[in-house]
Chains A and B, each alone.
Chain A
């Protein structure tokens, strides 16, 4: 068997085995730490396999695709499952496994205060998640991707609602699941339509422009849900109820990125659907700007990062909509690293001050130097300061929207870049600079198991940007650094944003117009809109369906029963009990028979 296939199998199989073991053997799970060991072992294997695959690719290994039939009907194969190891999937695999490993190691200490049973449950979910995500990443066709997609949705639900005894967490989990499930209907119908029109789930399936437009529009609906684009973004801030490592892994780096990944994969299909691409461009841009504004006024550090994720995903979606799937993919990769880094660093801070609120922090730069340093690295990368990874990928994204749609998206995205720098600057100032709050006064750095991953992730957060050329070559895209309008403006926006943050939020001032901005937190509005939709529309439609079921469907059955009884009652009088009548009947029958019998 091909070595690549074996490695791919290991990347998929190791977490699967870990998950299986933890599910089937409860006592390992209940002991707590052994479960963590199992999961991390699985992740290590998967990461090593991914690394080797990337290495081989660097040395010139070719694309590999193996499939085996899965669904059969009437002698034909309807669907296949398998592994696809090409430039895109192998790189994504490495990103996912590295981030997952870092998060899991970080969790060892972070989740230490949980009971052994909870601890074990946590790591079991992590193993399941990694398997599901890898299934998605290595999928050779849309159907397997969908399978992985749904599975990560389930694990997201389980992990958001990890503290299930807490009502807000339970509600957040249901909300996330419900909204993404609604969006997934788009995926389902898109798949059905695709198969019905073309008979295939392949990436490169040949579809007519009409079909392609319809299918891609449906698939995009699912992306709007999964990647928290407007208007289905409302579940992501609530998802912060889950443990911070979970937020880092699922809701920043990997799961929400699956939507973007799918767009990158299915790009050949989207090429034929310019209308959908236009839609994506606008939705992505709108989300990027809108979410950035909201991030500016949050007081919970995790919520800042959550809106930031929405915004960055919007950037990716816009780039792909503008036609450059590579730009989206590149930013996806760098974002995974620096966002996960930011979340874990935030986790370290939260762990130290026992609160999520920015108000409870302050002056941590002095008390937690390592955490502050890596957070700074992540923030600069996110803001797009030249020299960091985020700059390279963001620059590519912005370049791809140059000139599109009358430069409007370009302007809006530049504005969001400015805002990004602004809100990150705000966080840096409020949390790490200035006088410490009472809680922060006793903060201290965590142990190696938490700081190690932080440092590890900081490296690609800086240097991943330089791999752009190699990456482009690997996936067969066009990329070259250039000096032009976009990079200059972008760099300016980033630096100006940071400076502005210093001016506005520095020295403990909060400008009057910050209050104005706070009033922009209209998340409640969108939420209320969804709730109204649910109550007025969905429940009403359900009511109609119930009426149909009760009176039409059941009605038919009841009518059948009723008519049978009525017929019985109608026929019963024949049984008179009178001999006369029976003789009559016999005679009539005999006469009829005699007649028919051939009285000629």
Chain B
């Protein structure tokens, strides 16, 4: 019962926030709405008995990603919603596809009988940690490499070229 109530609340928050993300003209506000959606997700994880994940979600997403986004918006200077309007053709297309997708997948979900499998106990944090370093060790290591590559890549892509001795200045 409580689950239903809590879930309902969280769901509402998430959906509204998500909608506002895609509809806000002001980019800073859009980012903040995203932050709210992500927080809602964290709450959902908590409700689903995955507290560790909830914590990680808050840390990485809300703390890290959102901050990044804010920086991105600020640096590029275009945050006052002066971006040109989308044309209606795009909107109709988008709506159709989104609705189509939603209809298709939700239809599939509703038609599936999920009661067959008995729900086991969700893993504890300790178990999760062990599986990371035991069953999924390779994935773990590879992912860390990926992270490294991404970081280096982002730095390389975004750096400003130093001006030469004669002072060429602007990026090649």
A touches B in complex, CB < 8 A: yes
Residues of A within 8 A of B (CB): 580, 584, 587-588, 591, 594-595, 599
A584 to B93, CA, bound (A): 8
A588 to B101, CA, bound (A): 9
Given known contacts A584-B93, A599-B107, what 14 new A-B pairs fall within 8 Å (CB)? A580-B90, A584-B94, A584-B97, A587-B97, A587-B101, A588-B97, A591-B97, A591-B100, A591-B101, A591-B104, A594-B104, A595-B104, A599-B104, A599-B108
A-B contact pairs, 5 of them (CB 8 A): A584-B97, A591-B97, A591-B104, A599-B104, A599-B108
A482 to B93, CA, bound (A): 110
Q: Residues of A contacting B100 with CB < 8 Å? A: 591
A594 to B105, CA, bound (A): 9
**Nearest 3 CB-CB pairings of A with B:** A587-B97, A591-B100, A594-B104
Q: Residues of A contacting B101 with CB < 8 Å? A: 587, 591
Within 8 A of A (CB), among B91-146: 93-94, 97, 100-101, 104, 107-108
Closest to A588 in B: B97
Q: Residues of B contacting A594 with CB < 8 Å? A: 104
A584 to B96, CA, bound (A): 10
- State the total of A-B contacts with C-beta under 8 angstroms: 16
Q: Residues of A contacting B94 with CB < 8 Å? A: 584
A594 to B107, CA, bound (A): 12
Q: Residues of B contacting A587 with CB < 8 Å? A: 97, 101
Closest to A590 in B: B101
Minimum CB–CB distance from A514 to chain B (whole Å) comes to 100
A588 to B97, CA, bound (A): 7
A273 to B104, CA, bound (A): 85
Minimum CB–CB distance from B121 to chain A (whole Å) comes to 33
Q: Residues of A contacting B108 with CB < 8 Å? A: 599
Minimum CB–CB distance from A595 to chain B (whole Å) comes to 7
Minimum CB–CB distance from A15 to chain B (whole Å) comes to 87
Minimum CB–CB distance from B22 to chain A (whole Å) comes to 13
Closest to B86 in A: A580
Closest to A595 in B: B104
Closest to A591 in B: B100
Q: Residues of A contacting B104 with CB < 8 Å? A: 591, 594-595, 599
Q: Residues of B contacting A588 with CB < 8 Å? A: 97
Minimum CB–CB distance from A49 to chain B (whole Å) comes to 94
Q: Residues of B contacting A599 with CB < 8 Å? A: 104, 107-108
Q: Residues of B contacting A584 with CB < 8 Å? A: 93-94, 97
Minimum CB–CB distance from B87 to chain A (whole Å) comes to 11
Minimum CB–CB distance from A413 to chain B (whole Å) comes to 96
A107 to B100, CA, bound (A): 101
Closest to A586 in B: B97
A53 to B90, CA, bound (A): 100
Minimum CB–CB distance from A590 to chain B (whole Å) comes to 8
Q: Residues of A contacting B107 with CB < 8 Å? A: 599
A595 to B90, CA, bound (A): 23
Minimum CB–CB distance from A582 to chain B (whole Å) comes to 12
A594 to B106, CA, bound (A): 13
A580 to B90, CA, bound (A): 9
Closest to B98 in A: A587
Closest to B108 in A: A599
Chain A CB within 10 Å, residue with most, of B93, B97, B104, B107 = B97
A237 to B140, CA, bound (A): 107
A588 to B104, CA, bound (A): 12
Q: Residues of A contacting B93 with CB < 8 Å? A: 584
A594 to B93, CA, bound (A): 18
Q: Residues of A contacting B97 with CB < 8 Å? A: 584, 587-588, 591
Minimum CB–CB distance from A456 to chain B (whole Å) comes to 104
A591 to B101, CA, bound (A): 7
A533 to B107, CA, bound (A): 83
A563 to B101, CA, bound (A): 37
Minimum CB–CB distance from B146 to chain A (whole Å) comes to 23
Q: Residues of B contacting A595 with CB < 8 Å? A: 104
A599 to B101, CA, bound (A): 12
A75 to B17, CA, bound (A): 86
- For B27-61 the 0/1 string (1 means CB < 8 A from A) is 00000000000000000000000000000000000
A599 to B97, CA, bound (A): 17
A599 to B90, CA, bound (A): 27
Minimum CB–CB distance from B47 to chain A (whole Å) comes to 30
Within 8 A of A (CB), among B53-100: 90, 93-94, 97, 100
Closest to A587 in B: B97
A587 to B93, CA, bound (A): 11
Minimum CB–CB distance from A579 to chain B (whole Å) comes to 12
Closest to A580 in B: B90
Q: Residues of A contacting B90 with CB < 8 Å? A: 580
Minimum CB–CB distance from B106 to chain A (whole Å) comes to 11
Within 8 A of A (CB), among B129-166: none
A255 to B100, CA, bound (A): 89
Minimum CB–CB distance from B84 to chain A (whole Å) comes to 13
Minimum CB–CB distance from B140 to chain A (whole Å) comes to 31
Closest to A592 in B: B100
A422 to B97, CA, bound (A): 107
Closest to B103 in A: A591
Q: Residues of B contacting A580 with CB < 8 Å? A: 90
A594 to B90, CA, bound (A): 23
A594 to B103, CA, bound (A): 12
A584 to B97, CA, bound (A): 8
Minimum CB–CB distance from B119 to chain A (whole Å) comes to 26
Minimum CB–CB distance from B23 to chain A (whole Å) comes to 16
Closest to B97 in A: A587
Closest to B96 in A: A588
Q: Residues of B contacting A591 with CB < 8 Å? A: 97, 100-101, 104
A594 to B100, CA, bound (A): 11
A591 to B104, CA, bound (A): 8
